């Protein structure tokens, strides 16, 4: 890998009695960054190897012999069976897909999809509603979800709520696809076997027949693959993926979620150029983004993203704009996964209560895209925009708040990085070199760290620990040849805890909730201003004074404001 380097300006601190020393003098990759050390599992050649350490030997997973229904599920199914008897309907009701899989694995699932073999979902829901009325009960939340092929909703779905659980009803179907679309060109009522083989994976092809209270495995391998922990397609994988390329991403998600092994033929098919081209051309970006978000929010995000790397679809999933600068080096995707891996392990080492689920999700995104944080492209009117923004908005079609937060975290992590040497020192040190908020020249040197940290936390609010973690990923760690990755990770954990404790000791943990002593009206009154940007500028200076004097009063702040303004007038 060929990389060029640039040196970051030294951060100089002042020790007692005027002694100085350089705390940091390290280099950054222009598009990657320093200390992005590749995990050994990620040091693979450019050509994918499908016998990587992620393809662990198959193990046996505990699978129940039958479905154990909860009390609510029993009541729901009793009402549905009573509807069949009431109208003498010769229809089989089958719960399909994920619910069956999860119940057999002993996991709870509240997503019940029922497939009917001889009638449409809307017809049956009308019958259920009519039956409920006949016994004095009222149907709740009945609605019809129209088919929306662009969002992978190929069939009209009827929905209703029974005993506070939403139930979806569709008919069994058989589908055929065209070459350039994942929208079926033809649909018809199908048999249970046809429907099972139409599914994405064998473990998702199982049915629970409500009529007979039995599990049905029409592919003859759904249960065995569930027991052996194997991700396999019911039909040949290449044909399955070309019919619906989103199944590649879903196979990865389920493989990671359940820690199952991807079938070798499946991996070869997923990585072939024809399937990758179909994935890029046929699948809506919203659907890809939803799958990726489920992986990042799931229990094995690193494994999922590593599979995406191994199958060489990283830059298809996280597609980049046509032109950007500087160029991204070969293997950059591996650096992305390495940062994700370190952040994931660090989060667990710090403890689950350190971050909320939403903070954890955005932490992982911010960490994974750290190597791209200095890469930009030009929008209309030649505006420079980070490519991370493009990935979120165009490649994944995520909500606008996600790229805004991640980019804010990237910017804030650089600020935190400049403060870390002072926040971790046991000596009375003061930072004297930084490249942000340089206008706060009136702040006493002894208070500058508290002021700068306070402003940063007021900007980040509850996400300040997330920005701190990202900055810890960028901070150089002293290591020697005898230390393993666990030791290095522990050092980063200790550094995080030290900075966190320093922030708390400074009394800044909830500084964003601190009310400013004076307001805009006070500033305009004292300085005889009629508004404008000067008011905001002086309010920021007043907040800096307040952070430097945590015991100060509003009157003392106003006195300082008058004095500071008087000095400014004299200088002018």
Per-residue model confidence as pLDDT tens digits over 360-381: 999 999 999 999 999 999 987 7
Sequence-distant (6+) residues with CB within 8 A of 128 are 79, 80, 83, 139, 160
Q: With a cut of 70, which residues of the chain have pLDDT below it? A: 1-60, 146-155, 174-188, 426-442, 570-572
- For residue 443, the model assigns a pLDDT of 76
Q: Both 270 and 336 in a single domain?
A: no
- For residue 483, the model assigns a pLDDT of 78
Q: Dmax of the chain from CA atoms?
A: 96
Count of other CB atoms within 10 angstroms of residue 381: 5
| Cα 379 off chain centre by | 25
- For residue 435, the model assigns a pLDDT of 60
- For residue 96, the model assigns a pLDDT of 93
Q: What is the pTM of this model?
A: 0.84
53 domain residue, yes or no: no
CB 355 within 8 A of CB 466: yes
- For residue 6, the model assigns a pLDDT of 35
Helix (H, G, I), strand (E, B) or coil at 114: strand
**Residue 436 DSSP class:** S
- For residue 301, the model assigns a pLDDT of 98
Q: Both 466 and 374 in a single domain?
A: yes
Q: Both 525 and 499 in a single domain?
A: no
H or E element at residue 168: strand 165-171
Q: Apex CA 369: angle with CA 43 and CA 388, to 5°?
A: 140
Q: Both 370 and 509 in a single domain?
A: yes
- For residue 14, the model assigns a pLDDT of 38
d(CA 484, CA 24): 23
- For residue 54, the model assigns a pLDDT of 47
- For residue 242, the model assigns a pLDDT of 94
- For residue 565, the model assigns a pLDDT of 83
Strand partners, 169: 114, 158
Q: Dihedral sign, CA of 478, 479, 483, 484?
A: positive
Pair of tokens at residue 357: 């689920």
Q: Both 283 and 360 in a single domain?
A: no
Could you give phi then psi for residue 168, rounded to 5 degrees? -105, 140
Q: Both 158 and 271 in a single domain?
A: no
- For residue 484, the model assigns a pLDDT of 84
Please tell me the total count of domains within the chain.
4
Q: Both 193 and 209 in a single domain?
A: yes
d(CA 505, CA 514): 16
83 domain residue, yes or no: yes
Q: What is the CATH number of the domain that holds 286?
A: 1.10.110.30
d(CA 84, CA 78): 10
Helix (H, G, I), strand (E, B) or coil at 438: coil
- For residue 349, the model assigns a pLDDT of 95
Domain that includes residue 410, residue range: 331-437+444-477+485-514
CB 24 within 8 A of CB 42: no
**Residue 169 DSSP class:** E
Which of 262, 285, 317 is the last residue in one of the domains? 317
| Closest residue by Cα to residue 269 from 235, 295, 297 | 235
Helix (H, G, I), strand (E, B) or coil at 265: helix
- For residue 445, the model assigns a pLDDT of 77
325 domain residue, yes or no: no
d(CA 507, CA 526): 29
Q: Both 262 and 346 in a single domain?
A: no
């Amino acid at each position: 890998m060929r990389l060029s380097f640039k040196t970051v300006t030294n951060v100089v601190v002042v020790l007692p009695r005027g002694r100085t020393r350089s705390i940091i003098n390290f280099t950054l990759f222009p598009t990657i960054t320093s200390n992005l050390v590749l995990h050994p599992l990620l040091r693979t050649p450019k050509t994918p190897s499908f016998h990587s350490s992620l393809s662990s030997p198959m193990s046996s997973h505990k699978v129940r012999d039958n479905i154990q229904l909860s009390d609510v599920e029993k009541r729901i199914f009793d009402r549905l069976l009573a509807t069949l008897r009431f109208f003498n309907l010769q229809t089989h009701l089958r719960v399909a897909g994920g619910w069956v899989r999860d119940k057999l694995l002993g996991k709870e699932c509240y997503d019940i999809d029922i497939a009917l073999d001889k009638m449409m979902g809307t017809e049956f829901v009308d019958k259920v509603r009519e039956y409920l009325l006949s016994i004095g009960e009222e149907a709740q939340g009945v609605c019809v979800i129209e088919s929306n092929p662009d969002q992978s909703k190929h069939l009209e779905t009827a929905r209703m709520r029974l005993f506070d659980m939403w139930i979806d009803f569709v008919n069994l179907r058989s589908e055929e696809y065209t070459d350039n679309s994942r929208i079926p060109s033809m649909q018809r009522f199908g048999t249970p076997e046809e429907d099972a083989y139409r599914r994405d994976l064998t473990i998702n092809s199982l049915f629970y027949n409500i009529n007979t209270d039995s599990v049905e495995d029409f592919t003859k391998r759904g249960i065995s693959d569930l027991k052996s922990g194997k991700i396999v397609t019911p039909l040949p994988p290449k044909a399955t993926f070309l019919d619906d390329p989103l199944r590649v991403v879903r196979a990865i998600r389920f493989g990671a979620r359940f820690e199952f092994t991807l079938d070798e033929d499946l991996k070869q098919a997923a990585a072939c150029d024809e399937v990758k081209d179909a994935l890029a051309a046929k699948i809506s970006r919203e659907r890809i983004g939803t799958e990726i978000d489920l992986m990042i929010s799931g229990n094995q995000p690193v494994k999922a993203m590593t599979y995406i790397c191994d199958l060489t679809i990283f830059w298809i999933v996280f597609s980049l704009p046509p032109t950007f600068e500087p160029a991204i080096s070969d293997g950059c995707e591996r650096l992305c996964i390495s940062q994700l891996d370190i952040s994931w392990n660090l989060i667990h080492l710090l403890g689950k209560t350190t971050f909320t689920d939403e903070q954890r999700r955005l932490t992982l995104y911010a960490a994974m895209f750290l190597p791209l944080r200095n890469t930009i492209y030009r929008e209309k009117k030649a505006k420079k925009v980070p490519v991370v923004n493009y990935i979120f908005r165009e490649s994944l079609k995520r909500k606008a708040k996600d790229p805004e937060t991640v980019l804010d975290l990237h910017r804030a992590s650089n600020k935190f990085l400049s403060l870390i040497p002072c926040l971790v020192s046991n000596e009375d040190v003061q930072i004297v070199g930084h490249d942000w908020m340089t206008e706060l020249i009136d702040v006493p040197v002894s208070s500058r760290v508290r002021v700068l940290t306070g402003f940063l936390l007021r900007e980040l609010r509850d996400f300040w620990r997330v920005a701190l973690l990202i900055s810890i990923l960028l901070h150089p760690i002293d290591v020697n040849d005898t230390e393993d990755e666990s030791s290095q990770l522990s050092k980063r954990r200790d550094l995080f805890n030290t900075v966190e404790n320093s922030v708390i000791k400074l009394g800044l943990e909830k500084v964003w909730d601190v009310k400013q002593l004076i307001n805009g009206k006070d500033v305009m009154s004292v300085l005889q201003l009629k508004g404008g940007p000067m008011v905001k500028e002086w309010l920021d200076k007043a907040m800096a004074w307040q952070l430097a004097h945590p015991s100060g009063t509003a009157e003392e702040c106003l006195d300082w404001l008058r004095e500071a303004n008087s000095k400014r007038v004299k200088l002018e």
